Homo-oligomer: A and B are copies of this chain.
Amino acid sequence: MRSDDLRAENRHRLLSTLRADGPSSRTHLGEASGLSQAALSNLLGDMIEQGILTSSNNSKAGEVRRGRPQSTISLNPMAGQGIALSLVNDRCVIRATDYSGELIYTNELHLDTKAADQQSLLTTFTDQINLGLHENKALPLRAISVGFQGVTDPLQGQFLWSPVISMRKLPVAKTLEQNFNVPVAVNNDCLLIAKALHQIQSSVLTDNFSTILLSCGLGMGMYLSGEPFTGIKSSGLELGHIRYRPGGARCRCGKSGCIEAYASDYGLRRSACNTKDLHSPLGLVSRDQLSSLCRQARGGDKKALQAFSEAGQALGYGLSNVFSLFDPMPVALVGPDEQIFELMHDDIIESMSSSSREQLDFDQLIHTYENADNLLQQGLHFDAMENIDKQLAHLNSQMAV
């Protein structure tokens, strides 16, 4: 490690603090980083000159204080932009934020993902990103963060398998990096949701927690020791394919009796429709279909209620396995707009408490969130911004903005 690495690391720390805490005074930055005022003056002055930060004389209306007023340091929006690309079901969403994290572009299109081949998908992505860049030519693109349902390979930047796409090994990062000449991160949607929750709910979901995403299938993400767990070979973890009822309902993965075969969009729908035939084909479930299923259950429909109950039990079983393997930890249940977990809450708790050694306070551990799409977007933006922070921290020579 060399002297300039030291400087880069201190710069990075300052940027991260500003990203997490918002515009801050030098005093706050000093406390958070442990650096001296002199060092701050030096580092911040450099970064302001480089166009990474801005300094403003904030005069808070209410407060009148003696002495030289504090200046507020902020991330300079003009330092660049990051693009978030997500593909969930048939929706491809492209959004961009400036360096301060403000949304500056958003677009969305529907794709026939099942029919698309590798080349057409990659071309679509490229075109859509170009469309967004055209709207904000002044801001240099510095990072792209991509989120998919399914199994991704973050190291290779590949996309390995998804319920909505027919091909395998889609080299997203390689293609986009070539086309745009910026780093491209490819991650699983659950991990990105975990990143968003970690940032937002940092008081509750701190060092160790899991996220369970019920959308198209059943996904899982995890933070361990304060770090997002990016998996061993593929991204994140899989709760859905733990064996739950051997010989039971058929799962999309080919096996029978997986947790996902009960606790997922298609599992729920199948249970509710025809309780006899659990080996029926596993088509995609639209958001509307899931909504109407929730309405049926709330309306008292017996079969629907039974489906949610079974899903809750399966999910509780899976979580109790996780709690056995690890210690009990906070869990975020993330679903679509419908308050879907409300319908299984009691069954989840019951299934978990029947198989846990100690008495647990589940209200403290289980948190539900109903805005999966939003969280995914936030996670993507945060991931892209983090990447830009890292780049700019290591930029010790002058930069052109």
Contact = CB atoms under 8 A, between A and B. Distances in A.
Interface of A: 1, 3, 5-6, 9-10, 13, 34, 207-208, 224-225, 227, 229-234, 237-239, 241-243, 253-255, 320-322, 324-329, 355, 357
Contact of A243 (B9, B238, B324): B324
A238 B1 contact: no
Copies assembled: 2
Majority-rule SS of A interface residues: loop
A253 B327 contact: no
Contact of A355 (B255, B321, B328, B357): B255
Contacts of A227: 225
State the 5 A-B residue pairs at the shortest beta-carbon distance, nearest first: A232-B327, A233-B327, A208-B232, A242-B324, A241-B324
B242 A321 contact: yes
28 contacts: A1-B6, A1-B34, A5-B6, A6-B6, A208-B232, A224-B224, A231-B326, A231-B327, A232-B328, A233-B327, A233-B328, A234-B327, A237-B325, A238-B324, A239-B325, A241-B324, A241-B357, A242-B321, A242-B324, A242-B325, A243-B320, A243-B321, A243-B324, A243-B355, A253-B357, A255-B355, A255-B357, A321-B321
A18 to B, nearest CB: 17
A355 B255 CA distance: 8
Contacts of A243: 320-321, 324, 355
B6 A10 contact: no
Contacts of A320: 243
A176 to B, nearest CB: 25
A325 to B, nearest CB: 5
Contacts of A6: 1, 3, 5-6
Contacts of A242: 321, 324-325
Given A1-B10, A1-B34, A322-B325, 20 more contacts: A1-B13, A3-B3, A207-B232, A224-B224, A224-B229, A225-B227, A231-B327, A232-B328, A232-B329, A233-B328, A234-B327, A238-B324, A238-B325, A241-B357, A242-B325, A243-B320, A243-B321, A253-B357, A321-B321, A321-B325
Nearest to A33: B1
Contacts of A224: 224, 229
Contacts of A239: 325
A3 B39 CA distance: 12
A358 to B, nearest CB: 10
Contacts of A5: 6
Contacts of A321: 242-243, 321, 325
Contacts of A9: 1
Contacts of A325: 237-239, 242, 321-322, 325
A353 to B, nearest CB: 12
Contacts of A207: 232
A357 B1 contact: no
